[in-house]
Structures are given as C-alpha cells and as structure tokens.
Structure 1
Amino acid sequence: MRKLHARDKTMALILTVFVCAAAAAAQSSPAGKALTVDRIWSQPSLSGTALRGVAWAPDGKRLSFFHTTGSGHDAVTEIRVMDAATGQSSVLVSAEKLSSVLPRDSSQPTQATGLGRRPPASYQWSPQGDALLFEGPNSLVWYDLKSQAGRTLLSGSDGLADPKFSPDGRWVSFVRDHNVWLVSVAGGEPRQFTRGGTEEIREGELDWVYPEELDARTAYWWAPDSSAIAYLEMNERGVTLYPIQDPTSYTGATHTMRYPKAGDANPAVRLFVADLQGGAPRAISLAGDFATNRMDKNAPAADDPTQTDFYVARVDWLPDSRHLAVQHLNRGQNDLELMIADAATGQAGVVLEEKDPYWVNVADDLHFLSDGKRFLWSSERSGYRHLYLYDVQGKQLARLTQGDWEVVRLDGVDEAAGAVYFTATEKTPIERHLYRVRLDGSGFTRITKADGTHGINLSPGARFFVDNCSDAAAPPRQDLYRADGTRVAVLNENKVAELAEYHLSPVEFFSLTARDGVKLNALMIKPPDFSAGKKYPVIVYTYGGPHAQVVLNAWGGATFLWHQLMAQKGYIIFALDNRGSTGRGHGFESVIYRHMSDHEISDQRDGVAYLRSLPYVDGSRIGVWGWSYGGYMTLNLMFRAGDDFKAGFSGAPVTDLRQYDTIYTERYMSRPQDNPEGYKDSSPINHVDGLKGKLLIAHGTGDDNVHVANTISLINKFIDAGKYVEVTLYPGRGHPISDPPARKVLFRRVTQFFLDNL
C-alpha cells in the first residue's frame, strides 16, 4: 500500500479547523498543575457530578430529581420537584422520609441518606402522578405523595428486574425467577403471571444478546388499557453454555452464561399475549415474506432453524390496546418487517418492509399517533436516516426530513401543535442538536444553539426538555428549557473549578481527505508548550467500528483527561473517524460489510500519512491505542500496518471474529459458514506475523462481552510465531475494567509503556 507524504497533493488538509474556544479560554499558564493517573481516576471526579434521578411527572409539568448535600458518609439525599413553567423547586420526598420508607439492604454499604440507609437506585412516577415507585435490587416500595406514606410491595433476598406500573396504576409488574410477576399497589402477595420460565426458557425476560446488540430494554409490554401483557418467550436450550472461570477461586469456581457465537444457534423466540383476567396465553403468528421465519403456535425445538433464524427486534402496542406492532428481522439483518398483529387472534400482517443490500439498523423511532391510524417511522433507505409519516396500511403520507445528514433519534411529538422533535446531525456530524419539524414536513428548525453535543429528555406532551449538554472543553451540564429553546432554569451548572488548575490543551477539530477523495473527520490535541519548530511523537486513539465516533465535540471524561496527561508529557494526540463509524450516513458505515477492518485500516493509514506530512510530527514515533473494537483495530493496525506504528495498546480486543456473538458479528460479516474468507482476513489472530512494534494487551478475566479466550488464543499464536508481547490480565474484571483501583494500575502501566516505547 502506497504511503502518502507531504509532497503528495492527494492528501489534502482540510477545509476547516476550529479550536474549542472554551478550552482556549480556560487554558492555564504553562506552569499549571500536571495531571496524574491517580487523580484522573479518583474522587471527586474531574468530570464533576451529573444530576441523578431526573424524571418527568406524567403531566409533563413537573420534573423531579435527586438532590444531595454533603459528601461521603455525611451525604444527605432528598428528591426535589421543579415546576417546569417557573423553574421553582421544592422538596418532594425528604431525606428523612426516604430513610424511613426504604428497606435496609445488607448487601450494600451504608451511605447517601445520612441516616443509615442507601437511597433508591432509581424510581418512577405512577401513571397518575400521585405516587412514586422506589426500586432496590430486591425490593419495591410504593410511596403515596399526598399522605407521604410508603408501602413495601416486595422485599426479601430474591432479586428482581424490570419493574413497571400498569398504565392504570393499579399493579406493579416485575421479573423474578425468569417469569413476570404482579403485585397490587394496595398490597398483598405477589402473583406469578407467566408460568413456564426456567433457566433455559425465559418468559418476559431478556437473554444476554438482545440487550447487548439490539438495545432491547424489556421483554414484556402492558396494553395501554391494562387489560393484557405481551411478552417474549426466549428458549435458550440450543444456545452455547459458556463457562467463565474465577481465577481467584481456590476451588476453580465458574459461572456459566448462554452466549450465541457467530454462526451458532440463537434463542428460539416466540411472542405471546396474556389477559390479566386469566386464560391461556395466545401466540402471535409472525409469517413474513423472508424464508425460514414462521413462528408456529406449538413450542419449537430449540435447534429448529425456522425458530432461531430471526429476531423480534421491537414490540409496541397500538393505542387501541387490540393490536401490536412487531418489528421482525431476519437473521441476516437485511430485511426488517413491521407487522401489525391482532392480539385476540394472533394473526399478523406486514405493513412496511425495509430491505438493504448490507444490513438494516434497528431504531427506536416508531411512534403511533393517538388516533391509532398514523405512525412515525425512520428509515435509512435514502442513505441517511430520516423521518416519515405513514398510515397503518403502510402508505407513506409525508417525508418529514431529508438531506445528507442523519436523524439520530425521535425525541417526542406534540400532537396538539403538530410538531415532531428529534435529535440530528444536520449542523455537523461531530455534534448532536435538537430539531423540530411539523407533521407535514414544514417548519424545520434547530432548537439548541450552543456548540456541542446535546442529550435531550423531552417532557410528556413535548412542552419542555432537559438538555444534557457538553463540548470537548466542558463536562456535561443540565438545563431546563421550554420547547422553543428558551431556558427556564439551570439544573446543574457542573463547573469543575479544579480543571482550571491544569494546563489543558484545546481540542482542534478538522477534516482530511483520504486517497480516494472521501473526507474524514479528525481531531488533535497538542502539548501545552507546543512549538511548531519541534518534532513530537503521536498517539493515535481509535475505535473505528459501527455505531460509534471518537471525533465528537463532547466531553470525553477520563479518556480525554488521560490524553491531556500524555499531551503534557510531550505527545500529540490524534483521532480519526474512519469509514465504518457512525454519523455520516449508511453508505459511509456499510463499506465494512463482509470485510471488517479493510477500509478502516486504509483510512487510518491515510491519517498517519497526513501526520507524517506535518513538519512538527516525528513520523518514526507513532503509536496507537483503543478499547473493545478499538482494541481490535489496534491489533489490526499493529499487524497489518506495522511499518506505520511503533507501539500499540489494545484493551479487551476481539481477536477472532468467530469468537464474538451472533447478532453483532453476523450483521456486518454474515455467518462464518457463509463468509469464511472474510472472517479469516478480518480476524487479527491470523496476522500476528506482521507485528513489528511493541504491543501491550489488557483484558478482564470476567469479561462476558469479549471473552478473555480471545486474548489467550492470541498469546498462543504469538508463541507459535516466536514473538513476545506484554499481556496483563485483570482477575474478575468485566469488559471495561472500570473499577478505579484496577484502572489506575492499568493506566499507570499504559503511560509508562508509551513513555518507554514511543
């Protein structure tokens, strides 16, 4: 592969470069304090504090949140409520009341109310807005806001998950022992609603892979009139039982999980509806147009491919409580059917179909209007995700958005005003903003004005929103706004005064042009005492995979601060969003299809060529690091672009794509049996002979996402190749190795690794 140098005019620098003004303004003198690994991963966080427990009351006029004063064992937490129209707040539930109504949890250390009990992990408003439901790991407490009295609905040692109010507010449902249960808010014993749940067959409970790769958040759904519950049955008998060993256990203890690896069996999934008044559950018959996907009413064999070669990606009730909308996705993930099912008969029909030559990305943008006759839908059929209005027969009524930019998500609808609110990349792909458009596609308006990335929490009725906003120079803050963009109140300014004590360098955003003319977004952080007359080593930060960006005008947390630490030590930090990453449309992303890493490596090498064209870069001292997919990318770059990188750090990498799960891997690569050469070429484990530089790998032995077997298998390949690399394992840690003690040890080593080898 030809390298590009300064004289090569096809490697063009960019159109624009801008520096985060806030960072430049906040920059301290060159004599500012030096960041340390220990400080970055210690408390209080240099990212400040986020407002916790933000929840809208059902009327959309009140906003509640946790409010804590003091710190450590002296911390006292209460719940406050704010009038969204005025911004005035008052105590909703006092710290004393929280302490008196919450059951003790002996498995957790005492803290946070100041009265010997932990605050609830989370809570939710009742649908009528007259009560709160407090959720603990083993308990549910119903709290009446008028009488300020609590009632324990559930307690004990058995765990629970996914609690929900029924829409009429009379029941609370939850998942326990692989079944859905109900308990009355008036009290009494809970009753088991589903009956067939076991460790192998989950009733109303998600498996591991659906939430991990389809972003599924629940496996059961209340009818709007509270008359019935729809739920998934997930039969995992045919799914590989994967052991994860505890290496610190004297007896070699292991726990097992059902983990479907690429090409292997998925859970067999069925959809049922059961009435609250009793009676046998009714199976929903899903009979789409693509092959091997018919869902029969008889229990399937766990290894029956007609029952495992599709996904029930999303389920929603229509407003009439008589019909369900089911998003039915084939195993190849290139054919998504929106089906409307009769909850009484179980019969279903396709009203809309999305087909793609590569894959269909599942979204959460289906929204039925209150008349039940129209719905909003998002599609990437134009090459970019945009919003459309349909009737329930599948006829397109309007296209709401268009252009070479993406709708990121549908935030909500104000039906009275005929307005739709959504987050999109229209301003720039490196930011996220809130927009409004009318149901006929007119009146397109950007609402958020400040540069940066905005996370929106829209009120019911869409009259107000909470804006969680950050940029590359400032940690996230939360503010309350009216829907027209007028600020009502500052909820959490989150100014971290200590940041001003460090010599933080500004983040420069720009774009460069790859060898084939495609523009690629990039960023750079220079040393605080940068001099254009000197030569600097560079550390490239990469992720590179689908549904993620590293070049984003948003606060980067501890990773950003570690990059600042390395800049203080004399390194330039560089990051580039190669093709395959998100924010630039489906065409930009889908080039990786069936050959992951090829385009990514090419684009990253073009980034290196650009760096080498700069007079202040030492082109012989370029390193790379990344985590998860970024760890996978780091290995591919070290093995397949070894002349470009002198040192690399790979965290929790997939080394053999056959070792990763079905949904993610097959979406981009097809099954291994259908694409054996693609899997071979795209897996770093088959390219270890190309390693020339120094390599450090870290992995948690308890990683249930990317199993540590990936790294162990790679070590064996290095032995066969006669190569030595440094590998550090973290006992019992999961995929992110996120606990502060381990993180400190890890990044002390990573810091020294680059100091020694770059």
Structure 2
Amino acid sequence: AEILPKPGGAQNQQTGLGRIAPQRYFWSPTGDALLFVSPDSLYWFDLNKKTGKKLTPARPEKDPDKAAIHDPKFSPDGRWVSFVRGYDLWVVSVTAGQEKQLTRGGREELRNGQLDWVYPEELDIRTAYWWSPDSSQIAYLQMDEQPVTKYPLVNFLSYTGETETIRYPIAGDANPIVRVGVVRVGVVPVAGAAASATAANSRWIDTGRDTNIYIARVDWLRDSKRLAIQRLNRQQNKLELLFADAADGRSQVALTEEDKYWINLHDDLYFFTDGQRFLWSSERDGFRHLYLYDLSGKLLKQVTRGAWEVTGLAGVDEKRRAIYFTATEKSPIERHLYRVTLDDGALGRVTREDGTHSINMAPDAAHYVDTYSNAMTPPRQELAQAEGTRVAVVNENKVAELAAYALQPVEFFTTAGADGTPLEAMMIKPAGFDPSKKYPALVHLYGGPHGQVVRNAWGSSNFLWHQMMAQKGFLIFAVDNRGMAARGHAFETPLFHRMGQVELADQLAGVSYLKSLPYVDGARIGIWGWSYGGYMTCYAMLNAPEVFKAGFAGAPVTDWRQYDTIYTERYMGLPKDNAEGYKNSSPVTHAAKLKGKLLIAAGTDDDNVHFANTVELSEQFIQAGRYAEIQIYPGRGHGISDRPARLHLFRRVTQFFLDNL
C-alpha cells in the first residue's frame, strides 16, 4: 500500500496562505512523529516504530480545488490534525484516522478558516484559524468575499485566453466581511468508528456592529476560555484589543491604540502563566516598545524605552522574570537580541557580533538558534544559551568559494536628507577603484514603508549582482529615505497622503552627495528597484528627468488607484478623500516628463501589482509620445523568480545599464 507521497512531485504545496511557501512535513508536538503533506492527503510517520499511515481517506472529488488540503496543523496535545478542505475546517484523529467536518457552507466566496488574498499580503496574518491551548476548540475567521471585486488574470500562453479570477479589493472598494467563530472539536473517535458527518455549531464572537473593519489578530488566552482579538478600523488609525468569552461570544475592549497617521501591527502579545498579565508593544512614544498590562487593561509599566525600535518579542523566561527581544538599539541597520528584567528594567545586549541576528527561541527561553549574517558574511546558524554562550554551530556556512570572487567591501555611512535628517547609506566602489577616475553610479532603492535597503546583513542575489556590476566599473549606492523602517514612527509618516514626494526628495539629496564626490560622474547616474522600488524608479525618472540617465523598474505600481485597499489606504487614505494625492503620487500622471532611458519588467500573472499597471503607463507614454522599453514575462508573478526568467531579466538589465550609462 502507498504510505508516503511518490517522489518527484511538486516541491511547494498550497496552504491557503497566498504567496507563503509551506513545509513538506511537520513535527508532532511530542517530537516522535512527522506529518507529511501532499496536495490532497495527509500521511503520518511514527519515528519510534518506523511505520507510516495515510490519515485522510481518498476522496472522489473531481475538482482538485475541493479535494486540496490547506494549512494543516497539529492540535497542541498532538491528538488531532486540523486542515481546510473545500473552504471548510476539518480535523482528523491521529490514532483513529477518522475525519470530522467542523464547519459547513464554505465556498470560494465564503471561506471558513481559510485566508483571502489581501489579509496575508497586507496584514501579515499567516493563518485563519487557531487551536485553543487545551485542544478542545478552534477559533477561526469566516471571510465573506462576495462584496470584493473579481479581478481576471489572463493566461496569455493558452490558445483560448484562459483566465483565473481572484478576489482583489482595490483602493476605495469593498473589503471582505470578516467575523470570528469558535467551534468545539469534541472527543477523539475510537479506531474503526464511522467518520462524523455532522458539523458542530459555531459560536460567533461579538466584534461590534461595524463590519467595515479588519480583524487583524486572533489569540487564545491560556485558560482556553477567552480570545484576544485585535480590531482595526478601515482608516487603520485605531486599533482595539478585545477580550471575548468563547462560550457566549461577548467581548469588551481592553485597550485602544490611536494615531494621527496609521497604526503598525505587531505580533508581540504574550500572556503570562499567572493569568493576570500580558505584554504588548506600541509606538505611542514614537518608537516601538514593550508594555506590561494586567487583564483589566491597566498599564502596569513600560518595559523598554529609548530612541530605538523593538523589532520582535523573542521569548519570556517567567522564572527569571526576563524578557528577550530583538531591537535596533545598537544601530538601525542591525538587529540584535536583548534581555530586559521585569524587576529593575536592566537592559543587556545578548548577541555581540556586528550585523543582523534572527532569533528563534525555545519555548522555555533557555536556548535560541541565531541565524546571523553581515554585509560580507552569508547566513550561519548557531545554538546558544539564553545568556549568549554558544552551544553548537548548526550551520557554519563558510562558503569558501566566495573568496575567489574578490568581493568589494560594503561601506556604511550617513548622509543628510532633504530636510537635514541623517539618513543611513551604503556604497560599493568599483573593482580596482582609482579615485582619480570618474565612475557611473547605480542607485538601488526601495523607498517604501517597512522596507530597508541599507542593512548590515547578507544581501543575497541583489548583493551579488551589485558586486558583478562593481566589477564592470559601476559604483553602487543606496540611501534609506524618510518613510522607511527602523527609525521610529515620526521617520515613517512624512509620506502620509503624498507617496513618492518625500522619498524622492531624500533620494535626490543622496544623489547630490554622490555628485559631490570627485570620482562620481554626475552625468551617468542610473536607478533601479523592485515593487515599491520599481514604483519609485518610475516616479524618479519622470519627476527628476535631469538627474537620472537610465532606470530599471521591476513590477512597479504606476497608479495607486489600482492597488489594494489595506496597503494603499493606510498611507494614502481613501481615493474619494485624497483624489489629488492619488493623482500626484502616481507615475501615470507624469508620463510626459520622461527623458531618460527606462526599462520596465512585469509578469502577466502578477496577482499583487497587476500587469495593468504597466499597460496603463505604456498607454500614457503613447499618448505623450514618449518611449520606454518593456519586458513582459508571460505567466510570471510579482517576483519573476524562476531561473530561466530571472537569468533572462538580469542579463538584459545588465546590458541595459552598460549601454545607457
């Protein structure tokens, strides 16, 4: 009998999480078994007995979408595996191998426990259901997408013009209507018992009368009786933490965050085992910091403070009353692990090497795995004790062959923005650098909220391409303008309701610095970026045509009226309330100003920044009598990431800059 999926299948399975690549297998909570996932089946492998079994029976569904398994999870006690199939929640008993359907009525436009497109993309939410700690209940999101715009993605490689329709809420239009349900799982069936055909009744949580909101986060309290729900208004400037009774659905507001501009979401909610207190993070003093509350919503103390950002809660050692978190305290271009004590607030940095540390801490906060890199060192993993003592090198990743490439060093420094604000910047000088020569410069940018280009971290493929361009005689430059991450909320908000303008002003200040260097040829400056960086490249080429001689824009937004609700409205407001801002911030408005050489690359199957953005800008160039080069990638998505297309693209981009700078 077939026990495990046959080799050679797809390497990535669907999970209902949009663009998230899942694991091929999952560890059981006890660590003695593995769960393997194929497109429509679950397989259990006992590591002690070295035996396996198929957990889910074969289904006669002709439609593979209805048979597909999404977002599988173990219950906390390891006795159940939950999953979504046919837009409904199911569980299967690990011991008895019997399925139980928990919800009914799910369909493409009414998802029970399965995410839509926009929530994972813009709220960074990774699942639509959550087990209670005692494994007796599941809380889930029901997402009603009937009001949401249907958007067609055309397969131009098919002879018949096949289309796939997705639900995509465009700025100013309707969002999905979301509510929170709770369903009991019930008892574990006896082996050999018939599968349950009756779905349990869901209890609906009161999240208020206004349905034009976002349910941004859902968590269980440790008692398995209450839920913590984060409710965000449509304007995204008011966030409320609700505590709800899972039995009767009643809820109350525990705390409220409000901001003049917008609220940045976080995943820093932690409930203490005493059932009396919780940790929360907020930007209320201008920087993200940790705060201690009691369950009534009373603030007990601010745990961290300073002109730096907490970037994530890593773990809590309740016995030693210590909290571990990552932060920018040392530098905004680095990430380190810190420890603070609840009693006296003593702060200490745990990680020592300059660079970026990504931390995965054990549940008891006694050990952590540190994935570390810097600008010249590829990522490596180490296991360490909580105080920082190394236990073992998990992956040294020496990459000895890098030495053969004679990589140019990355230089970090600060330069002044348009208003005098110090900005983080970096530079890679050309190979064989001669200060008496003049070199063309290539500016790399992202420019948008939550992004950073200037990081003391391994830069992966972009970094290696920049190194290749440096070997071809280019100077590489980047500056992180106002509006970007890790510098506090006041550093982000200048772009509010006027995207592109402040970002470009700071980028131009960076270019002015470049032109002041005796070895930079100010007449040969290029610019490039992807996504928001592609948008900024187009915006810069059109609004500073005398500055940039050539630009490459990957997957650019060209008209903010075409982008999604959550992201666009957070920074630009509703189109009806900021029509002039939308117009001025969109490259399509400025198409007639193009003078330099512009190359745009776009995938026709991009479900994030739709291909229509490139088409609309192309039409405006036609109307204005301007010319740009456009490279189309049929069937590719936002990243154009498959090997043949990626090689094709960057060979063309390389030649484009060689020809035009």
Q: Same fold, TM exceeding 0.5? A: yes
**Contact 1:536–1:571 (Cα < 8 Å) also in 2:** yes
Q: Which amino acid aligns with 2:230?
A: Q
Give 2:324's aligned residue: 421
Give 1:411's aligned residue: 314
Give the C-alpha shift of residue 385 in structure 1: 0.2
Cα separation, 1, equivalents of 2:441 and 2:11: 44
- Picking from 159, 178, 184, the partner of 2:93 is 184
Q: Which amino acid aligns with 1:595?
A: R
Give 1:286's aligned residue: 207
Q: Which amino acid aligns with 1:376?
A: L
Cα separation, 1, equivalents of 2:396 and 2:9: 34
Give 1:219's aligned residue: 128
Give the C-alpha shift of residue 105 in structure 1: 5.7
1:142 aligns with 2:38: no
Give 1:499's aligned residue: 402
Q: Which amino acid aligns with 2:48?
A: K
Call closer, same or farther: CA 1:440–1:355 in 2, change over 3 Å.
Answer: farther
Call closer, same or farther: CA 1:534–1:103 in 2, change over 3 Å.
Answer: same
Cα separation, 1, equivalents of 2:131 and 2:418: 53
Cα separation, 1, equivalents of 2:631 and 2:224: 54
Q: Which amino acid aligns with 2:648?
A: V
Structure 2: gaps spanning 5 or more residues = 13-21, 59-63, 187-198
**Contact 1:389–1:439 (Cα < 8 Å) also in 2:** no
The 5-angstrom pairing of residues 238-277 of structure 1 reads: 238-277=147-186
**Matched residues, percent identical?**
62
Cα separation, 2, equivalents of 1:754 and 1:167: 54
Give the C-alpha shift of residue 151 in structure 1: 2.1
1:131 aligns with 2:52: no
Q: Which amino acid aligns with 1:754?
A: F
**Contact 2:103–2:201 (Cα < 8 Å) also in 1:** no
Call closer, same or farther: CA 1:274–1:109 in 2, change over 3 Å.
Answer: closer
The 5-angstrom pairing of residues 571-650 of structure 1 reads: 571-650=474-553
Structure 1: gaps spanning 5 or more residues = 1-98, 111-119, 288-293, 295-305
Call closer, same or farther: CA 1:155–1:708 in 2, change over 3 Å.
Answer: farther
Partner deviation per Cα, 1:691-712 (whole Å, 9 max, x = no partner): 1110000000010000000000
- Picking from 257, 262, 279, the partner of 1:376 is 279
Give 1:203's aligned residue: 112
Cα separation, 2, equivalents of 1:137 and 1:458: 31
Partner deviation per Cα, 1:599-628 (whole Å, 9 max, x = no partner): 101000000110111111110110000000
- Picking from 178, 193, 203, the partner of 2:102 is 193
Partner deviation per Cα, 1:557-614 (whole Å, 9 max, x = no partner): 1100110111111110000000011010111011111111111010000001101111
Give 1:693's aligned residue: 596
Q: Which amino acid aligns with 2:84?
A: V
Give 1:751's aligned residue: 654
- Picking from 234, 245, 249, the partner of 2:143 is 234
Call closer, same or farther: CA 1:192–1:383 in 2, change over 3 Å.
Answer: same
Cα separation, 2, equivalents of 1:608 and 1:449: 34
Give 1:22's aligned residue: none
Give 1:11's aligned residue: none
Cα separation, 1, equivalents of 2:512 and 2:592: 23
Give 2:15's aligned residue: none
* Structure 1 segments of 4+ aligned residues over 3 angstroms from their partners: 105-110
- Aligned-residue CA RMSD in angstroms? 1.6
Give the C-alpha shift of residue 143 in structure 1: 2.3
Give the C-alpha shift of residue 168 in structure 1: 2.0
Partner deviation per Cα, 1:395-439 (whole Å, 9 max, x = no partner): 111211100000001011111111111010000000000111112
Cα separation, 1, equivalents of 2:326 and 2:438: 41
Cα separation, 2, equivalents of 1:105 and 1:326: 41
**Contact 1:423–1:432 (Cα < 8 Å) also in 2:** yes
Give the C-alpha shift of residue 279 in structure 1: 4.7
- Picking from 333, 337, 345, the partner of 1:434 is 337
Cα separation, 1, equivalents of 2:651 and 2:372: 31
Q: How many residues matched?
A: 633
User: 2:430 is paired with a residue of what secondary structure?
Assistant: coil
User: 1:221 is paired with a residue of what secondary structure?
Assistant: strand
Give the C-alpha shift of residue 631 in structure 1: 0.1
Q: Which amino acid aligns with 2:33?
A: A
The 5-angstrom pairing of residues 503-518 of structure 1 reads: 503-518=406-421
Cα separation, 2, equivalents of 1:647 and 1:530: 23
Q: Which amino acid aligns with 1:717?
A: Q
- Per mean C-alpha deviation after superposition, the further-off stretch among 329-338 and 214-223 is 214-223
1:453 aligns with 2:352: no
**Contact 1:389–1:397 (Cα < 8 Å) also in 2:** yes
**Contact 1:236–1:267 (Cα < 8 Å) also in 2:** yes
Cα separation, 2, equivalents of 1:262 and 1:131: 46
- Picking from 54, 69, 80, the partner of 1:160 is 69
Give the C-alpha shift of residue 541 in structure 1: 0.2
Q: Which amino acid aligns with 2:214?
A: Y
Q: Which amino acid aligns with 1:696?
A: L
Give the C-alpha shift of residue 101 in structure 1: 4.9
Q: Which amino acid aligns with 2:497?
A: R
Q: Which amino acid aligns with 1:254?
A: T
Cα separation, 1, equivalents of 2:479 and 2:175: 35
Call closer, same or farther: CA 1:279–1:749 in 2, change over 3 Å.
Answer: closer
Call closer, same or farther: CA 1:597–1:656 in 2, change over 3 Å.
Answer: same
Give the C-alpha shift of residue 109 in structure 1: 8.2
User: 2:499 is paired with a residue of what secondary structure?
Assistant: coil
- Picking from 433, 438, 448, the partner of 1:530 is 433
Q: Which amino acid aligns with 2:515?
A: R
1:671 aligns with 2:592: no
Whose RCO is larger (CA < 8 A, sep 6+)?
1
Give the C-alpha shift of residue 146 in structure 1: 2.4
User: 1:413 is paired with a residue of what secondary structure?
Assistant: strand
Partner deviation per Cα, 1:448-486 (whole Å, 9 max, x = no partner): 101111111101101111111111101101111111101
Give 2:247's aligned residue: 344
Cα separation, 1, equivalents of 2:653 and 2:343: 54
**Contact 2:417–2:481 (Cα < 8 Å) also in 1:** no
Call closer, same or farther: CA 1:698–1:251 in 2, change over 3 Å.
Answer: same
Partner deviation per Cα, 1:336-376 (whole Å, 9 max, x = no partner): 00000011111100010000000000100011111221100
**Contact 2:28–2:78 (Cα < 8 Å) also in 1:** yes
Give the C-alpha shift of residue 102 in structure 1: 2.3
Call closer, same or farther: CA 1:573–1:342 in 2, change over 3 Å.
Answer: same
Q: Which amino acid aligns with 2:111?
A: R
User: 1:154 is paired with a residue of what secondary structure?
Assistant: coil
Give the C-alpha shift of residue 661 in structure 1: 0.4
1:169 aligns with 2:99: no
Cα separation, 2, equivalents of 1:701 and 1:380: 39
Cα separation, 2, equivalents of 1:380 and 1:348: 25
- Picking from 422, 430, 439, the partner of 1:519 is 422
Partner deviation per Cα, 1:137-192 (whole Å, 9 max, x = no partner): 33322222322222221365632111111122211000111111110001333221
Cα separation, 2, equivalents of 1:663 and 1:274: 29
Give 2:628's aligned residue: 725
**Contact 1:179–1:197 (Cα < 8 Å) also in 2:** yes
1:334 aligns with 2:255: no
Give 2:194's aligned residue: none
Give the C-alpha shift of residue 100 in structure 1: 8.7
Partner deviation per Cα, 1:280-302 (whole Å, 9 max, x = no partner): 21110113xxxxxx1xxxxxxxx
Give 2:61's aligned residue: none
Q: Which amino acid aligns with 1:444?
A: L
**Contact 1:388–1:398 (Cα < 8 Å) also in 2:** yes
